Amino acid sequence: MADQGKVFNDPIHGHVELHPLLIKIIDTPQFQRLRNLKQLGGAYFVYPGASHNRFEHSIGTAHLAGELVRALKARQPELNITDQDILCVEIAGLCHDLGHGPFSHLFDGIFVPMVLKKKKEDLANIGELDEEIAEEIEEEIEEEIEKLKTWKHEKGSCDMFDYLVKCNKLKQEMKDCGLKLPEDLTFIKEMIMPKQIKDKKWPHKGRGKDKAFLYEIVSNKSSGVDVDKFDYLARDCYHLGVQNNFDHNRFLKFARVCEVEGKEWKHICIRDKMMDNMYDLFHARHCNHRRAYQHKVNNIIEHMTAEAFFKADEHIKVKGSGGKMFTISTAIGDMEAYTKLTDNLFEQILNSSDEELKDAKEILEKIIARKFYRFLGDKTLGEEDQKLDKEAAMAQISGWKRKFAGKKLTPEDFVVDVITFDYGKGGKDPVQYVYFYSKDNPDQAKWMPEDQKSKIRTVCFSEKLIRVYYKNPEEQSLETAKKRFKQVEMQQQRREQRAQKRKASADSGT
């Protein structure tokens, strides 16, 4: 290509040089949209430094993806990593977050489930309508439900990548850079959203199983060790002003592709002496969830913001393909419309004089005035409930909300949420999914044997707790809510104690 690459001065990685094709992608409206999506959503209202966006994280991920794949190529020429492979990996790193919605994980983690729940309720009540009207509406709602059920930001990233390439006519540019289409387009999307491998059959089409290790660079579904995590931990810690003990540069120095006993294809592995560094990676992730991502104030700010978006959903229209108008939630099915959805949605509602947006606006005004829903307390779930996934746990404790109702209190006055803190693999030790090689045998790797692991380490890798917030800020009403929360909490504790006694009794056979 005649165009030259560019050098970015990044606060995390220093001077980052990117290929000219990546610059072409960066200079599109679809990628520039990421400048207006906060990396940490509502955390900016808690941590003044957390103002960074998906834009710089994506550039950092592309850089690290290139660094890792080039290190593997230089260290192991026999892997036959081509310049074509390297470019595809870098593009996947660059485009892996194109599908995020306003306020990042708030959109698909809180807002979309709210809309999905409402759509399901609408479908259940469809029988109350005229039969002919009901049939037409039912089909429309079922279609929306299906889209919402399968929606993840990774899927959005693949859809947006396709739209970006088509809209900006980049296929010829890609061919000029040595990429083979459509094979490499498929490969890039597969790296952004790799399939879960459940049997010995190779599930991907972009590359064969001899290049399986390339699918572990951007999004590693096997161990969770990938450059996406390397960048966001380093970048988030920097902007939050907290310590990050994981050294990703050291990982790059010791990463190798090895045969693993019992596995059909090769994996990216790490030197056995790096085990402590790997624990630091997952521990840093866990600490950031506690300190920032699921901070109790950030938690309720994001819930309130999602609630405002939910109330505004049907009243804000975005023009998409063919001039068709979409709501906030239906825009996920049209990338032209979705491109226009950014964090600016917050300001649009906040500054609106539209009477239909009044309720949504009032919620956002409370956030700006820092009149958040008040935190009443949290409680770690019992041993049995710890095993439930979030959806099941929410169903299990739905009765809590009803129990809060009492004199001058209703269930709608409360927000109850299930919070999970873990190391990325549920209740399991994440390092048991990482493969290690030794100095004496650098081409064969294995899981770290239990007797070689340090005995001074975490043994519990997950806990669930519920958090309860009260919506009414009036002090007298708040005191009533606090007392009610304590009463319900004590009742729950007594039930759990009785359950534990019954269990102990049954176990002892008495």
In degrees and rounded to multiples of 5, residue 58 shows phi and psi of: -65, -40
Q: Which residues, listed in sequence order, are joined to residue 468 by a DSSP beta bridge?
A: 377, 416
Pairing of strands 444-447, 256-260: parallel
DSSP state of 370: T
Nearest in space to 222 (alpha carbons), one of 434, 79, 428 = 434
In sign, the C-alpha dihedral spanning 270, 274, 279, 281 is: negative
* DSSP E strand boundaries for 202-304: 256-260, 267-271
Cα–Cα distances in Å, from 454 out to 9, 117, 208, 457?
A: 39, 45, 37, 6
> Is 289 an active-site residue?
no
Q: How far apart are CA 422 and CA 309, in angstroms?
A: 28
Is-contact 36 345, C-beta < 8 A?
no
Is-contact 372 366, C-beta < 8 A?
yes
SS3 446: strand
- Whether residue 182 is preceded by a cis peptide bond, meaning omega within 30 degrees of 0, is yes
Residue indicated by tokens 């959005």:
156
Residue indicated by tokens 């083979």:
180
Q: Pick the catalytic residue: 19, 57, 153, 267?
A: 153
SS3 399: helix
Active site residues: 153
